[in-house]
Amino acid sequence: MINTLKLVNPIMIDGKEVAELTYDADEITSMQFIEAEGRALEYMGTGRVGAIEMDAGHQLYLGMFAIVAVNPNIDIRDLERIKGKDLIKVMRIGRNFTVPSEGSEEESSVQQYETTQKHLAPQQQTSEDGE
């Protein structure tokens, strides 16, 4: 679903001031996902420091790629000029992509899988004489 991000601090893209950007995290490709991680690690200069759910850098780049996914004319370097509180807004797009919300489809799928696994687990057989 395409959403609109309103910037407090507009950025220049192709010589024009842009104050609103459309995005859709569901359009992030596998290559964009991997590139987001690589860019975050490149700027940190170290390996991963924790789970993706806690990696603000990766989440920031995922948010940027959610913008690029529906605006192929925008280069990721354009979005690296975002500053101030707008950075948090972009990072939240990525965070919401990596952390399923309560009652989301992902949570339902995991719960259904766990329930199925319980029913498929072999039952321990006990004999009447305690062996």
The residue ranges of the chain whose pLDDT is under 70 are 44-51, 101-131
Question: 3-state DSSP call for residue 15?
Answer: coil
The two tokens of residue 56 are 């603000």
pTM for the model: 0.72
The phi, psi pair for 78, rounded to 5°, reads -60, -45
- For residues 45-81, one letter each, b for 16 or more C-beta atoms within 10 angstroms of the residue's C-beta and e for the rest, the string is eeeeeeebeebebbbbbbbbbbbbbbbeebeeebbee
pLDDT at 68: 97
Whole-number pLDDT of residue 106:
45
Give the chain's mean pLDDT: 81
pLDDT digits (tens, 9 = 90+) for 21-41: 999 999 999 999 999 988 888
